[in-house]
Amino acid sequence: MHDDRSLVEGRLKRVLDERVRPAVHPESVPLEIAVWNAPGEPVPVAEGLAGPVEPVAVGDRWGAPWGTSWFRVSGTVPEKWAGRTVEAILDLGFDENMPGFQCEGLVYRPDGTPVKGLNPRNQWVRIGAPVAGGEKVLLHIEAASNPVILDYHPFLPTQLGDKETAGSEPQYTLARMDLAVFDETVWNLVQDFEVLGELMAELPVEGARRWEILRAISRALDVIDLQDVNGTAAAAREQLAGALASPAPATSHRISAVGHAHIDSAWLWPLRETVRKVARTTANMTALLEDEPEFVFAMSQAQQFAWIKEHRPEVYAKVKKAVAEGRFVPAGGMWVESDTNMPGSEAMARQFVHGKRFFLDEFGIENDEAWLPDTFGFAAGLPQIIKAAGSKWLLTQKISWSTINKFPHHTFNWEGIDGTRIFTHFPPVDTYNCSMTGEQMAHAAKNFKEKGVARHSLAPTGWGDGGGGTTREMIAKSARLKNLEGSATVEWEAPGAFFAKAEAEYPNPPVWVGELYLELHRATLTSQAKTKQGNRRSEHLLREAELWAATAAVRTGAAYPYEDLDRIWKTVLLHQFHDILPGSSIAWVHREAAKTYEGLATELNGIIDAAQRALAGDASGSTELVFNSAPHPRGGVPAGAAGPVGAATGVEPSPREGGGYVLSNGLLEVEIDGRGLVVSAYDISAERETVAPGEAANLLQIHPDFPNQWDAWDVDEFYRNTVTDLTDLDELTPVENGVRVVRGFGDSRVTQLLTLAPGAKRLDIDTEVDWHETEKFLKAAFPLDVHAERYASETQFGHVYRATHTNTSWEAAKFEACNHRFVHLEEPGWGVALVNDSTYGHDVTRTVRAADGGTTTTVRVSLLRAPRFPDPETDQGVHRFRHALAPGAAIGDAVREGYRINLPERRITGADAEVAPLVSVDNDAVVVSAVKLADDGSGDLVVRFYESSGGRAKARVHLGFEATGLAVTDLLERPLADTEPPALDGGTVGLSLRPFELITLRLTRG
Order of strands, edge to edge, in the sheet holding 926-933? 926-933, 941-947, 998-1005, 963-969
Total residue count of the chain as it appears in this document: 1006
Q: How far apart are CA 345 and CA 348, in angstroms?
A: 5
Strand pairing of 393-395 and 369-371? parallel
Strands 738-745, 731-735: pairing is antiparallel
How many other β-carbons are positioned within 10 Å of the β-carbon of residue 40?
9
Cα–Cα dist 116/87, whole Å: 13
String of b and e for 398-437 (b: at least 16 CB within 10 Å)?
bbbebeeeebebbbbbbbbbbebbbbbbbbbbbbbbbbbb
Backbone angles phi, psi at 811, to 5 degrees: -75, -40
Mind giving me the DSSP string for 787-816? Answer: --SEEEEEETTEEEEEESS-SSHHHHT-SS
Do 53 and 36 form a contact (C-beta atoms < 8 A)?
yes
- Terminal-residue alpha carbon distance, the chain: 91
Q: Is the dihedral of CA 167, 164, 303, 465 positive or negative?
A: positive
Per DSSP bridges, beta strands 763-771 and 748-755 are: antiparallel
Instruction: Give whole-number Cα distances, 565 to 194, 327, 606, 705, 917, in Å.
Output: 53, 33, 12, 40, 21
Decide: helix, strand or coil at residue 59: coil
Spell out where 429-539 has E strands.
Answer: 456-461, 489-492, 511-513
DSSP secondary structure code for residue 463 in this structure: B
Q: What is the DSSP string of 877-927?
A: EEEEEEEEEEET--HHHHHHHHHHHHS--EEEEES-S-B--SEEES-TTEE
Q: Are 730 and 745 in contact (CB under 8 A)?
A: no
Residues 6+ apart with CB under 8 A from 567: none
By the 8 A CB rule, do 742 and 728 touch? no
Number of H helices, E strands in the chain: 18, 53
Sign of the torsion angle spanned by Cα atoms 358, 360, 362, 368: positive
CA dihedral 593→596→602→608, nearest 10 degrees, is: -90
Clarify whether 374 is annotated catalytic: yes
The answer to whether the Cα torsion of 20, 25, 29, 35 is positive or negative is negative
Prior bond of 870 cis (ω within 30°): yes
φ and ψ at residue 447, rounded to 5 degrees: -80, -25
How many Cα atoms sit within 13 Å of 169 on the Cβ side? 8
Q: Which residues pair with 429 in a beta bridge?
A: none
> Considering only CA atoms, which of 630, 642, 641, 612 is closest in space to residue 543?
630
Given the residues 162, 183, 264, 374, select the one marked as catalytic: 374
Query: Residue 421: phi, psi to the nearest 5?
Result: -115, 135
Rounding to the nearest 10 degrees, give the CA dihedral for residues 665, 670, 672, 673: 120
Which three-class secondary structure state does DSSP give residue 748? strand
Q: For residue 955, which of 919, 990, 995, 1000 has the smallest C-alpha distance? A: 990
What is the set of active-site residues?
374
